[in-house]
């Protein structure tokens, strides 16, 4: 695992060492998880050999007029780690995210998290809560900030993307938690430029869109950014819509992801490529994404309503696990010794 740049985490990672394998076939590392929650309650009994789960949730913190905390409002976050079963995801909103990796995945055992009242919490409160979980041994690998409006901050409001960055470095990175900044069609924003210019080795960027467009954006705006810190994502809340057969030249979900993974990532232009969203009954699409497009991540769960610990979401997760179990020579679940970038 690559060393964390900064204060080393005071927790011990679990799992088997992650490593690169022969190019034929290329061994891939996989994780899975949950996304876009307003309120979260996750409990688990830890065991080091369990599959990686990822928790992702919407963060819309309010700013206290008294404290005047400088915190960015809007977006989402991603927490990565291991959970044992049975786990309770009641209260977790949104969809779910399965992260896969070409070589090193954001993996560290999260083991257990219990958090309520995230809706309305400030960014500082949220980050401090996550940091406390890390310090208590939950081993969180990284937080994904899906930034929708990087320059949106009304006059008089105590918010800015620089304040978000500073808060991340004050609360999360000192305890060993990395950060991924996500942008969609905001690459010409001052916020994107600011984050890019000040990015450190604990942080990475994720751009959403067509593979060629993302390649050109990184090539023109981030030439100095290490490839491992360049992430691409693309998809649709209904994975079947405009999915294609994975063999088109582009323009369809699977073909764009295939180009992103097979062409740009494997030729050293992207670090990882992620897709979304699979739900119950989408095993065929999951197989195409993993086998043909060779993606590094799949959001799974529900299409248009909150994620729940229910048969539908468990079935969506099981599609991913079934594929991994059926393809042990080319795929595996990520371990705690893997790094996100």
Tens digit of pLDDT for each residue in 267-288? 999 999 988 889 999 999 999 9
In a domain, 131, yes or no: yes
User: What is the per-residue pLDDT for 56?
Assistant: 32
In a domain, 17, yes or no: no
In this predicted model, which residue has the larger pLDDT, 68 or 269? 269
Q: Say how many Å lie between the first and final Cα of the chain, rounded.
A: 10
**Mean pLDDT score of the chain, rounded to an integer?**
67
Contacts of 207 (CB under 8 A, 6+ apart): 182, 183, 184, 187, 214, 217, 218, 230, 231, 232, 233
In a domain, 257, yes or no: yes
pLDDT band for 157, please (50, 70, 90 cuts). low
Residue 118 backbone dihedrals phi, psi, to 5 degrees: -70, -30
User: What is the per-residue pLDDT for 136?
Assistant: 85
The residue-averaged pLDDT of 88-113 equals 32
In 3D space, the residue among 34, 42, 59 whose CA is nearest the CA of residue 119 turns out to be 59
The residue-averaged pLDDT of 121-130 equals 79
Contacts of 256 (CB under 8 A, 6+ apart): 210, 211, 234, 250
CB–CB of 9/139 below 8 Å?
Answer: yes
pLDDT band for 159, please (50, 70, 90 cuts). low
Q: Which of these ranges, 25-34, 159-168, 189-198, 272-281, has the smallest mean pLDDT? A: 25-34
In a domain, 234, yes or no: yes
The string of pLDDT tens digits covering residues 211-242 is 999 999 999 999 999 999 999 999 998 999 99
The total number of structural domains in the chain stands at 1
**Beta bridge partner(s), residue 182:** 146, 206
In a domain, 18, yes or no: no
In this predicted model, which residue has the larger pLDDT, 178 or 157? 178
* Residue 202 structural domain: 30-333
Whether the predicted pLDDT of 187 surpasses 90: no
In a domain, 340, yes or no: no
Residue 209 in tokens: 């869109």
Residue 270 in tokens: 């992207």
The residue-averaged pLDDT of 54-82 equals 31
The string of pLDDT tens digits covering residues 70-85 is 222 233 333 333 222 2
Whether the predicted pLDDT of 108 surpasses 70: no
Determine what percent of the chain is predicted with pLDDT higher than 70. 59
Whether the predicted pLDDT of 250 surpasses 60: yes
Residue 319 in tokens: 């599609």
Q: How far is it, in rounded angstroms, from Cα 210 to Cα 233?
A: 9
Most confident stretch, 16-20, 111-115, 200-204, 233-237: 200-204
Q: How far is it, in rounded angstroms, from Cα 185 to Cα 193?
A: 13
In a domain, 224, yes or no: yes
The percent of the chain in helix, strand and coil, each rounded to the nearest 5, is 25, 20, 50
In a domain, 216, yes or no: yes
pLDDT band for 335, please (50, 70, 90 cuts). low
Residue 114 in tokens: 């219990």
């Amino acid at each position: 695992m690559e060393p964390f740049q900064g204060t080393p985490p005071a927790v011990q990672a679990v799992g088997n060492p992650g490593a690169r394998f022969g190019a034929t076939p290329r061994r891939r590392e996989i994780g899975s998880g949950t996304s876009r929650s307003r309120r979260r309650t996750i409990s688990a009994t830890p065991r080091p050999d369990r599959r990686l789960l990822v928790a992702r949730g919407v963060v819309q913190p309010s700013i206290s007029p008294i404290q005047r905390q400088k915190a960015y409002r809007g977006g989402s976050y991603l927490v990565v780690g291991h959970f044992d079963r049975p786990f309770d995801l009641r209260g977790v909103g949104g969809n779910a995210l399965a992260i896969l990796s070409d070589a090193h995945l954001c993996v560290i055992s999260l083991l257990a998290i219990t958090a309520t009242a995230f809706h309305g919490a400030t960014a500082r409160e949220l980050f401090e809560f996550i940091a406390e979980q890390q310090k208590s041994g939950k081993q969180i690998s990284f937080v994904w900030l899906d930034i929708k409006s990087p320059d949106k901050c009304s006059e008089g409001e105590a918010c800015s993307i620089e304040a978000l960055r500073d808060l991340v470095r004050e609360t999360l990175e000192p305890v060993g938690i990395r950060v991924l900044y996500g942008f969609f069609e905001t690459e010409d924003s001052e916020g994107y430029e600011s984050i890019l210019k000040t990015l450190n080795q604990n942080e990475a960027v994720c751009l959403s869109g067509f593979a060629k467009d993302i390649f050109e954006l990184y090539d023109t705006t981030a030439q100095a950014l290490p490839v491992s810190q360049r992430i691409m994502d693309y998809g649709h809340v209904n994975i079947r819509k405009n999915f294609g057969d994975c063999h088109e030249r582009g323009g369809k979900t699977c073909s764009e992801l295939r180009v992103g993974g097979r062409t740009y990532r494997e030729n050293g232009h992207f670090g990882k490529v992620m897709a979304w969203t699979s739900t119950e009954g989408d095993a065929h699409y999951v197989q195409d994404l993993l086998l043909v497009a060779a993606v590094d991540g799949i959001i799974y769960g529900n299409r248009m309503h909150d994620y729940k610990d229910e048969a539908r979401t468990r079935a969506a997760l099981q599609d991913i696990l079934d594929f991994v179990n059926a393809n042990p020579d080319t795929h595996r679940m990520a371990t705690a010794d893997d790094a996100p970038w």
